[in-house]
Amino acid sequence: MAENKKNSRNPWAWIPTLYFAEGVPYVVVMTVAVIMFKRLGISNTDIALYTGWLYLPWVIKPFWSPIVDLLKTKRWWIVIMQLIIGAAFGGIALALPLPIFFKASLIFMWLLAFSSATHDIAADGFYMLSLSEYQQSYFVGIRSTFYRVATITGQGILIIIAGSLESWTGLSPVEINVTANNNIRNELVLPAAPNIQALSENDELGFIVTSSDIQISTLNITLHEFDSIKNIVELHNKEAGFISTNNSNEKQEDENKTDGWWTRNISKPLGNWLKNTFNPKKIADNEKSLVGNVAVVGIMLNKKPDENKEIVLNLQLKKDSDIKLVSGERLVFNSKNCNEVAYVLMQVDKKAVSADDVLKGTSGNIQLAWSILFFILSGLFIVLFIYHKFILPRPASDKAAAGSGMMFKEFFITFKMFFTKKNILLVILFLLLYRLGESQIVKMASPFLLDTRTTGGLGLTTGQLGLIYGTIGIFMLTVGGILGGLAASKKGLKYWLWPMALGINIPHLVYVYLSYAQPNSLLIVGTCVAFEQFCYGFAFTAYMLYMLYVCESSGVHKTAHYAICTGFMALGMMIPGMISGWLQECIGYQNFFIWVIICAIPGLLPVLFVKVDPKFGIKGKE
């Protein structure tokens, strides 16, 4: 009787937690890792390349799925993979404080990616083995919902927690009132270091500013004068070490190595040509043309920090005003530059008569904050491992497959049947190119939203990113997916194919707008991101339905052929995503997002030729 009770465990007891556990590591590998590495100062090129490679386990997942069938039970694979995932999260947490954190954490990211992909295989197989056909249909929406909950948790709640931890682990915030009007004298004096000798060594480490109230004249200066001041400010900050190069320790190691053939002959020449052609420095037609006036404020530490301690101060203006932060948005303080003043340059719009704003600076131990977050994730998966070890049912059909020779023979027959399908090249092109633009946006959206305005980004904090992109964005993505499914069930895939193909590409224009306008308003940024994510969710329905349509005539191989399609889906995200960071750094955010719009052309070409049964997808007409 006890055994029967274990075999017939209530699905509500394990399906929600199982698919939550399936979603969390995937979103950590694909999205959270991008945000974390960006906050830790890694370049966009390295972020996109190395996190792009992490798609590989999902690309080749169909090739090792037979191993999961041959060795042990699906239940065994699920609980063991959850234990390994927990250990991988713990490894990342321990690696982040290290000087070689990037390389060390990537090793554990690879372990996490392979464990997560294996967990996917086992969980989906276990779902089919443990439930009747009726239960599978009934719970398909439940499993999808909790997978989405995991996505919102990863991209939203975890990022908000990381942002809070960043603030919590930092020094007291800096606040400076900034006003501008035409009654202020048009005079600029670079701030000098304040006298801090009177401070005791026992005083708490913190920031001091040269002035808590900054005034800017609205009497315009020339572009030549503005450029001169900006160059002085940036040169001073660079020489004093307040502006750090991305991942400087590892970058220096790389620079000491001899460039390989690919770098010498392909990537470096092509990159230089792209930079010179599409991302030239702005040259003024008339250096005497007038621009808004400027002011400079100085910030420094009140005493020397610990020898190996690095304090990052992130500055931003709180209002959407006529005042903007030109230079000094991210300043790095340490024991070597603690006696120097860091310069922060602000500019008022040339058309402004008066304006006011508040410059706020927050600091935090970013490595410690993210390390704590991954310890939390590690603990979560240890709990899930223990829970599922006892709560998952033990269906009689869940056993290691016998006759491995026959299974491998069937495995190769499955692949042969897939690649000999009619118009298979067109199918593969559709799977690889339909999301060509989105595959690059998904890697660069978070860095763009986090990057400073001087580098072309929007300067959001980690918490703001978690709210806008990870919570509101994912919610709208889910709503779009639900409405897309309802729409397809009314009119079918053929009717919606073109509208959805356009819907996954055209909304990328919002990023073109954001990169040019760089609005300060969180409402505007949030609306644009929510709209793009809603359209993506709606349009992705066509992609999923097309994969089902391709596999509809596969008979007993339907599930295996669908897994192959998902491999091509992952490959279509992996390759363009890997080069997106390098391309963005070559041509800048504005040109990069224009390039993404151009990528709609090859993405739409296969849609011209695919043939779909008009009845496919319509409810009651399958």
DSSP class per residue in 2-66: HHHHHHT--GGGTHHHHHHHHHHHHHIIIIIHHHHHHHTT--HHHHHHHHHHTTHHHHSHHHHHH
364, β-bridge pairs? 312
Phi, psi (degrees; rounded to nearest 5) at 393: -70, 170
pLDDT at site 261: 59
Residues 484 and 496: their CA atoms lie apart, in Å, by 9
Same domain, 336 and 430: no
User: Residue written as tokens 């009845």?
Assistant: 615
Same domain, 311 and 390: no
pLDDT at site 367: 85
Same domain, 500 and 542: yes
Q: What percentage of the chain's residues is helix, strand, coil (to nearest 5)?
A: 65, 10, 25
Chain centroid to CA 183:
45
| Residue that finishes a domain, picked among 364, 392, 425 | 364
Same domain, 437 and 483: yes
Residues 567 and 61: their CA atoms lie apart, in Å, by 7
Same domain, 223 and 109: no
Same domain, 351 and 373: no
Q: Cα torsion at 141, 144, 148, 150 (round to 10°)?
A: 120
Same domain, 386 and 347: no
Among residues 459, 528, 215, 162, which one has the least CA distance to residue 317? Answer: 459
pLDDT at site 3: 44
Same domain, 15 and 51: yes
| Residue that finishes a domain, picked among 345, 364, 383 | 364
Contacts for 513 with CB less than 8 Å, ≥ 6 apart = 528
- CATH number for the domain including 128? 1.20.1250.20
Same domain, 437 and 551: yes
pLDDT at site 510: 96
In the chain, how many domains are there?
3
* Average pLDDT for runs of 10 along the chain of length 622: 55 89 92 89 86 89 76 88 96 92 93 92 80 68 78 86 81 88 76 60 79 88 88 90 60 47 67 70 55 89 82 80 83 87 89 86 83 94 94 81 62 82 91 92 90 81 85 88 84 89 94 91 92 91 84 69 85 90 89 94 91 75 52
Q: Burial level of 331, CB count in 10 A (0-12/13-18/19+)?
A: buried
Please check whether residue 386 is in contact with residue 17, taking contact to mean a CB–CB distance below 8 angstroms.
Answer: no
Q: What is the CA angle 282-288-293, rounded to 5?
A: 85
Same domain, 343 and 376: no
pTM, rounded to two decimals: 0.76
Among residues 389, 391, 393, which one has the least CA distance to residue 81? Answer: 389
Residues 462 and 478: their CA atoms lie apart, in Å, by 22
Following DSSP, what letter does each residue of 433-502 receive, concatenated?
HTTHHHHHHHHHHHHHHHS-GGGTS----HHHHIIIIIIIHHHHHHHHHHHHHHHHHHH-HHHHHHHHHH
pLDDT at site 264: 64
pLDDT at site 262: 57
> Kind and range of the H or E element at 195?
none
| Residue that finishes a domain, picked among 374, 401, 428 | 401
Same domain, 92 and 24: yes
Residue ranges making up the domain that contains 488: 403-622
DSSP 8-state assignment for residue 307 = T
pLDDT at site 196: 54
Same domain, 407 and 397: no
User: Beta 213-217 vs 174-181: how paired, if at all?
Assistant: parallel
